Amino acid sequence: MTNSIREIPLSESFLIIGSNTTENHPVIGSMIKNEVINKGKKLVVVDPRKIELARYADIFLQIKAGTNIAILNGFAHVLIKEDLYDKEFVQNRCEGFEEMAKALEKYTPEFVANICGIDDPFKIVEAARLFAASKPMALYYCMGITQFKSGTNGVKSCANLQMLLGNIGILGGGVNPLRGQNNVQGACDMGALPNVYTGYQSVSIDDNREKFIKMWGSEFELSKNPGLTVVESLNGVLTGDVKAIYIMGENPVISDPDQSHVIEALKQLDFLVVQDIVMTETAALADVVLPACAFLEKEGTVTNTERRVQLMKKIVTPPGEVKEDWRIIMEIANIMGANWDYKSAEDIFEEIRQLTPSYGGITYKRLEKELIQWPCPRENHPGTQILHKDRFSRGLGLFSVVEFTPPAEDIDPQYPMVLTTGRILQHFHTGTMTRNSKILDEICHEAFIEIHPNDASNYNISNGEEISISTRRGSVRVKAKITDRVKPGIIFMPFHFAEAAANKLTHDAMDPYCSIPELKICACKIEKVNAIGGLSE
Amino acid sequence: MNIEFIIDGKLIRAHKGQSILKAALLNGIDIPHLCYHEKLSATGACRLCIVKVNGMYKASCTEPVAEGIDVVTYDEELSMMRKELLEMLLAEGDHNCLYCHSNGNCELQNYCYQYNVEPPAKDLPKNIREVDLTSSQGIKRDENKCILCGRCVKACAEIQVNFVWDFAGRGSHAHLTSDMYEKIGDSSCIQCGTCVQLCPTGALSFQTVLGRGMNWELKKESSICIYCGVGCKIDFYTNKEGKLVKAMGNDEGPNKGHLCVKGRFGFDFVQSNKRLTTPLIKKNGKFEKATWDEALDLVASKFGEIKEKSSPDALMAFASAKCTNEENYLMQKFMRSVIGTNNIDHCARL
Ligand code: SF4
Ligand code: SF4
Ligand code: SF4
Ligand code: FES
């Protein structure tokens, strides 16, 4: 997030796009509800589903899945056409306005409404006017923006809109991605990415490599070629290029797109090591399984969605012979000839600080009593609540020309419905933790799909009936929940349930810039189970 | 700090519009209170916070500060009044602390003890109210321990913002309802547990807490929620055997004390019997228990072999958005400096 959670009370309006906030980031969802319902702040919600926040919205735009960019461009078009944008900000802080304005010309409300499947184009105009009249507006987005082939562009159009409105670098504004897992932010910051070291320092820049070689005392040159992403590496297994995978705390069999492809790849490996807390669907395929500490059994830091670094404490003793993940990695490294001697997580953090300018001023001692958000370069630096305050990292903010492109897989007569996936309130990711927690499992015990009443009656499906849902990649059986939260023609399915894994159905078309698979959308068909000879007679 | 006034003979400075209670608490002067909670708007329901302002009785949680007023928080009369109020609260309900999960952690119990309140006479007519211990997976309710302070109503309306609780009935028939008289399990409650956390008595409680340990034996330590990126700070309570008992929102985190249902109840898995406890090596398609030495030697030699025979780029690691910064750092350091490849990623994109 460019801004901070504690600024929510300072926003005059909110744009929530591609984020089912009250289920996926419930505490932030409640804070926003408090502002809107109890304090009369304005709210615009853009989502293919009638999510809870849509009920309280001043304007709700129920768009076709995969058309975020069109609608964001539509808002920007209106702001420019009606002269409602922040000219001072655009003039002093940004560049590329002319080119973008030109590209936006065709995104008239009518054009956009047509792409997005919105009945009343004037709602787009009203929303744009609302943003201009109720500043600062805070924009929040989540996987509903990024999990598309066009994900990177979706993020750019969010930035375009907020720069046009001058909502960057000020209290209560910002472009605020909500991170899905407790330490996604930290894992990225730490360089668990194929192209960068910690703090996003590129592996292809000689100076960076020099610095890390020196600090690490590495015997050999560090590689300057960017590595593989998760999805690329699985493809690499099938072509024979990748022979061994070491997985720490992930369950790609359930979480990654196109399940049968993932299983095929993992089975073909010469050697698979999985380090986890329980026997997962992925660990079952491993050659060696290493038992690791759960979060309450170890110390360390995590970085939340607002870049705030926080300390985790050891609360309980681990069972059996379980070890901390860092200790296991260190022991393997040392057998292979390294000479690491970390006594605690704090020792490792001290090394991170020295190599990572944005974490340079953060210490365990400070974290005990201070709220610190990176960048925090020095020990006497308070950390950074708002990014891009006086200047952007590159100097001027760059407006990007972003065109709407349709999703990779379109519907056709054979697969006439759209499938979109996501999370629900009570469960998390692949269910490894929540489905092993008694009360959460009791509240929501089984998989389901959401289907609109019209579609249900077309297919003669009743509420709670088990149906079959298939895509070009696979099919699963699951209970139907009839609700007008989804639009006609769309089916929503949570991905937490191994026995009806949504990712048997999804595909791995990727964003060309950052390889995010297009989990949010693909074509599918539904059938009554007895019609395909499943349960009848 | 633009207003000066006197509490118990001491000069106090406060902001205009602040309540006397708030100003007193900020200055380390404790006035007994039950319906007031610093995170909620004031209700003025319990009257326990009664004080004398220039000789007149006022509820200090709703009475604003004013220049030059003289406040008395404690004297014989006030003490008698508070004692009578507490006696009434005890008599109206059915408070058996022996069987209550709040025993030792109950604001009503504390005040009754402090003010020497006797148990109520046995023959008083009781107004039996809703006891609903089963309808909700997470939350239990015994309204016979409810003092109608209204904190739960406000917690749900102002923090979770779901508006589940409300009052119904009048006078001695006043009681709580969840939505339209439904049981809590049938209501729109999403089980965030915020109302339970702020209830001053044992009227609201969590399933699975009673019997796990006496409140005064529990140890408290805070950590960060393992689920979403909000990063809520949570106080985890463990008992004498080291078992996890409950999770409460911590006020210093980004969540300011609030939690969702996952943070509140999603910790059992840590101590479940499904946990892996030893390394496993697959032999002939079956997992067999192994020692750490065996398992790690095998991993290291296989990695080394593939690195030599093929190339460092034939190895790949998935780090994890559920592990700490230190662990993710070490994993990429391992791949880059020991294996010699940039093949490292995690599921940020998923
Ligand atoms: S249930 Fe608890 S918080 Fe709610 S009114 Fe009763 S005593 Fe107060
Ligand atoms: S648990 Fe949460 S949602 Fe349910 S009544 Fe209490 S505050 Fe409201
Ligand atoms: S308690 Fe809920 S909102 Fe808070 S970090 Fe955990 S999952 Fe996210
Ligand atoms: S605390 Fe003031 S009336 Fe209850």
Q: What is the pLDDT of residues A322-379, one digit of tens each?
A: 999 999 999 999 999 999 999 999 999 999 999 999 999 999 999 999 999 999 999 9
pLDDT band at A33, cuts 50/70/90?
very high
Q: What percent of chain B has pLDDT over 70?
A: 97
Residue A429 clears pLDDT 80, i.e. is over it: no
What's the domain range around B334?
311-350
Q: Which pair of tokens denotes residue B25?
A: 């608490």
Is B345–A436 a contact, with Cβ atoms under 8 angstroms apart?
no
**Pocket of ligand 3 contains residue A180 by CB under 6 Å:** no
Average pLDDT, chain B: 91
Picking from B56, B74, B92, the residue at the C-terminal end of a domain is B74
Give which of B323, B308, B317 is closest to B336, Cα–Cα. B317
Identify the CATH assignment for A184-373 out of 3.40.640.10, 3.40.630.10, 1.10.340.30, 3.40.50.740: 3.40.50.740
Question: Roughly how many angstroms between the first and final C-alpha of chain A, as a whole number?
Answer: 56
The pLDDT assigned to A508 comes to 61
Question: For residue B342, is it within any domain?
Answer: yes
**CATH code given to domain A5-178:** 3.40.228.10
The pLDDT assigned to A147 comes to 64
Residue A240 clears pLDDT 50, i.e. is over it: yes
**Average pLDDT value for residue range B142-169:** 92
pLDDT band at B348, cuts 50/70/90?
low
Among A481-490, A513-522, B131-140, which is the least confidently predicted range? A513-522
- Summarised one tens digit per residue, pLDDT across range B57-107 is 999 999 999 999 999 999 999 999 999 999 989 888 888 888 888 999 999
Instruction: Write down the domain spans for chain A.
Output: 5-178, 184-373, 417-536
Identify the CATH assignment for A417-536 out of 2.40.40.20, 3.30.230.70, 3.40.50.300, 3.40.50.10800: 2.40.40.20
Nearest CA in chain B to A38: B158
pLDDT band at A56, cuts 50/70/90?
very high
The pLDDT assigned to A85 comes to 94
Asked if A5-178 and A184-373 have one fold, the answer is no
Picking from B40, B57, B74, the residue at the C-terminal end of a domain is B74
pLDDT band at B231, cuts 50/70/90?
very high
**Pocket of ligand 4 contains residue B34 by CB under 6 Å:** yes
**Pocket of ligand 2 contains residue B199 by CB under 6 Å:** no
The pLDDT assigned to A510 comes to 52
User: In this predicted model, which residue has the larger pLDDT, B2 or A536?
Assistant: B2
pLDDT band at A445, cuts 50/70/90?
confident
Question: For residue B24, is it within any domain?
Answer: yes
**Residues B207, B139: contact at Cβ < 8 Å?**
yes
Residue A533 clears pLDDT 70, i.e. is over it: no
Is B221–A220 a contact, with Cβ atoms under 8 angstroms apart?
no
- Give contacts of B160 with chain A, Cβ < 8 Å: 30
How many Å apart are CA A168 and CA A161, to the nearest integer? 10
Q: What percent of chain A has pLDDT over 70?
A: 93
Q: Predicted ipTM? A: 0.91
Question: For residue B347, is it within any domain?
Answer: yes
**Pocket of ligand 4 contains residue B25 by CB under 6 Å:** no
The pLDDT assigned to B63 comes to 94
How many Å apart are CA A187 and CA A193, to the nearest integer? 8
- Summarised one tens digit per residue, pLDDT across range A183-223 is 989 999 999 999 999 999 999 999 999 999 989 987 678 88
Nearest CA in chain B to A239: B314
Picking from B74, B92, B110, the residue at the C-terminal end of a domain is B74
A309 strand-pairing partners: A303
User: In this predicted model, which residue has the larger pLDDT, A473 or B264?
Assistant: B264
* Closest in B231, B260, B281 to A310, CB measured: B231
CATH number of the domain where residue B37 is located = 3.10.20.740
The pLDDT assigned to A520 comes to 67
**Average pLDDT value for residue range A289-298:** 96
Is A305–B229 a contact, with Cβ atoms under 8 angstroms apart?
yes
Based on its alpha-carbon atoms, the radius of gyration of chain A, rounded to whole angstroms, reads 24
Residue B185 clears pLDDT 50, i.e. is over it: yes
User: In this predicted model, which residue has the larger pLDDT, A475 or B297?
Assistant: B297
**How many structural domains compose chain B?**
2
3-state secondary structure chain B: CCEEEEECCEEEEECCCCEHHHHHHHCCCCCCCCCCCCCCCCCCCCCCCEEEECCEEEECCCCECCCCCEEECCCHHHHHHHHHHHHHHHHHCCCCHHHCCCCCCCHHHHHHHHCCCCCCCCCCCCCCCCEECCCCCCEEEEHHHCCCCCHHHHHHHHHHCCCCEEEECCHHHCEEEECCCECHHHCCCCCCCHHHHHCCCCCEEECCCCCCCCHHHCEEEEEECCCCCCCCEEEEEECCCCCEEEEEECCCCCCCCCCCHHHHHCCHHHHCCCECCCCEEEECCEEEECCHHHHHHHHHHHHHHHHHHCCHHHEEEECCCCCCHHHHHHHHHHHHHHHCCCCEECHHHC
Q: pTM of the entire structure?
A: 0.92
The pLDDT assigned to A148 comes to 60
- Residue ID of nearest Cα to ligand 2 atom 6: B195
Mutate which of B39, B140, B225, B270 to disrupt the A interface (most A C-beta within 10 Å)?
B270
